[in-house]
Amino acid sequence: MSRYDWPGNVRELHNFLDRYAAFGESAAEFLGGAEAFLPSAVEGQTLADATRQLEHALILKTLEKCRWHRGRTAVALGLNLRTLQRKMKALDIRGHDRD
């Protein structure tokens, strides 16, 4: 975080800190821009669709990092386990059933 140039204004830093509080270390990837999480983002996409795509990518990446252990994934994302499970169901993320 200290190596980032912070070319934006105070709002950019504030938004990053909000993401850091919500997503922990994974928020550092936002410093390269949302494109790091949204490689297939299409111009004109709705905010709801972009948010859903971002959540899907972040949860999936964190699940893989935590070897699909949902409890550890929830902690890493700053969520309780039930919230993670609801998001996974809503985003149709399934695959590994071990915890």
Which residues have a Cβ under 8 Å from the Cβ of 91 and sit 6 or more positions away? 52, 55, 56, 59
Domain assignments of the chain as residue spans, ordered by start: 10-90
pLDDT tens-digit series, residues 62-77: 899 899 999 999 998 8
Q: Would you say 63 and 93 are in contact if contact means Cβ atoms under 8 Å apart?
A: yes
Torsion of the alpha carbons at 65, 69, 74 and 76, rounded to the nearest 10? -30
Q: pLDDT for 32-65, tens place per residue?
A: 554 454 445 556 778 788 788 888 988 998 899 8
Asked whether the CA dihedral 30, 43, 57, 91 is positive or negative, the reply is positive
- Taking the model in full, what pTM does it have? 0.58
